[in-house]
């Protein structure tokens, strides 16, 4: 019988198929893992923006996690939009006795079009209770500034680390330098740095795709640096072949 590593995903549903749980499922499957998808919120959105979002009842999420984990081994966990602070608390409680499972946190706060995907209580819950137990968090430039301060990338990452976050992957995908620089900040060791070719433009769901691909690598047993390296290669290819879906940002072709 065949087996694949299992990645538990907690993300929102984007009906345009660009971001959220569909992005996660596609990336994780393409990299050879089996996704275990738990939907945290429903959204009203097209390729331009998010217009409404509604969290799933936190107790329903708790039941799904308990039911699933009694049956299926979990090799990594990836989170995206989490819907509510109550869902963060359910997740934190769920992983309490599972500290050996790598937890990749994409701290989704806003859609690229500006639509809100997290209220203040959810942002605080992520910062205070989820980040300290993550393997790595993967904020984009806007999220990094909101979470760690606007001064510069390094000081924002250091602020988050000082608040208990074990590792921060900062991504330069939303900047305008000729090359994209991604950096892994960890306390007590020099930053790891990757330079990638910039193709230009913005791609809907690229952050979700990167974090999900890192989780797949970790589920396969790669160390964090190697999982990031594999994920970046995968995302670059997906962006190279990006799909036009609607009037907004193109969508990475995740295969």
Binding site for ligand PLP (CB under 6 A): 11-12, 14, 19-20, 43, 45, 50, 80-81, 108, 111-112, 117, 140, 204-208
Least Å distance, CB 240 to ligand PLP, is 17
Nearer to ligand PLP, 216 or 223 (CB): 216
Q: Which is nearer to ligand PLP, 74 or 239 (CB)?
A: 239
Among the listed residues 66, 74, 78, 76, the one whose alpha carbon sits nearest the alpha carbon of residue 20: 78
Residues 6 or more apart whose Cβ sits within 8 Å of residue 39: 11, 12, 13, 21, 56
Q: How far is the CB of 208 from ligand PLP (least distance, A)?
A: 4
Name the minimum Å distance from CB 168 to ligand PLP.
16
Residue among 141 and 164 whose Cβ is closer to ligand PLP:
141
CB under 8 Å to 234, separation ≥6 — which residues?
27, 30, 31, 209, 213
**Strand-pair partners of 9:** 37, 78
Whole-number minimum distance, CB 241 to ligand PLP, in Å? 17
**Min. distance of Cβ 226 from ligand PLP in angstroms?**
22
Handedness of CA 31, 37, 40, 42 (dihedral sign): positive
CA 247, 113, 7, 54: dihedral to nearest 10 degrees? -110
The pair of three-digit structure tokens given for residue 35, joined into one six-digit string: 């996704």
Question: Which CB, 45 or 220, lies closer to ligand PLP?
Answer: 45
Q: Please, which residue, 12 or 35, has the CB nearer to ligand PLP?
A: 12
**Which positions ≥6 away from 50 have C-beta within 8 Å?**
14, 43, 44, 111, 113, 115, 116, 117
């Amino acid at each position: 019988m065949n087996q694949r590593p299992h990645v538990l995903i907690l993300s929102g549903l984007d009906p345009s198929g660009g971001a959220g749980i569909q992005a996660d499922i596609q990336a994780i499957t393409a990299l050879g893992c089996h996704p275990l998808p738990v939907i945290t919120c429903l959204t009203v959105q097209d390729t331009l923006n998010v217009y409404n979002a509604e969290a799933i009842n936190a107790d329903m999420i708790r039941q799904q996690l308990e039911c699933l984990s009694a049956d299926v081994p979990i090799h990594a966990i990836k989170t995206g939009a989490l819907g509510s602070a109550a869902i963060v608390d359910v997740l934190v409680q769920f992983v309490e006795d599972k500290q050996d499972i790598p937890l990749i946190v994409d701290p989704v706060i806003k859609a690229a079009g500006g639509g809100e995907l997290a209220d203040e209580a959810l942002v605080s819950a992520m910062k205070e209770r989820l980040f300290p137990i993550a393997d790595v968090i993967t904020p984009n430039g806007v999220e990094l500034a909101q979470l760690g301060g606007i001064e510069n990338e390094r000081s924002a990452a250091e602020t988050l680390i000082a608040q208990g976050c074990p590792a921060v992957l900062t991504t330069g995908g939303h900047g305008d330098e000729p090359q994209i620089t991604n950096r892994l900040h960890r306390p007590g060791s020099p930053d790891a740095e990757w330079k990638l070719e910039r193709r230009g433009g913005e791609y809907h769901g690229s952050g979700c795709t990167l974090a999900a691909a890192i989780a797949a690598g970790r589920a396969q047993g790669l160390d964090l640096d190697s999982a990031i390296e594999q994920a970046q290669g995968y995302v670059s290819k997906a962006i190279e072949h990006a799909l036009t879906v609607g009037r907004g940002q193109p969508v990475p072709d995740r295969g």
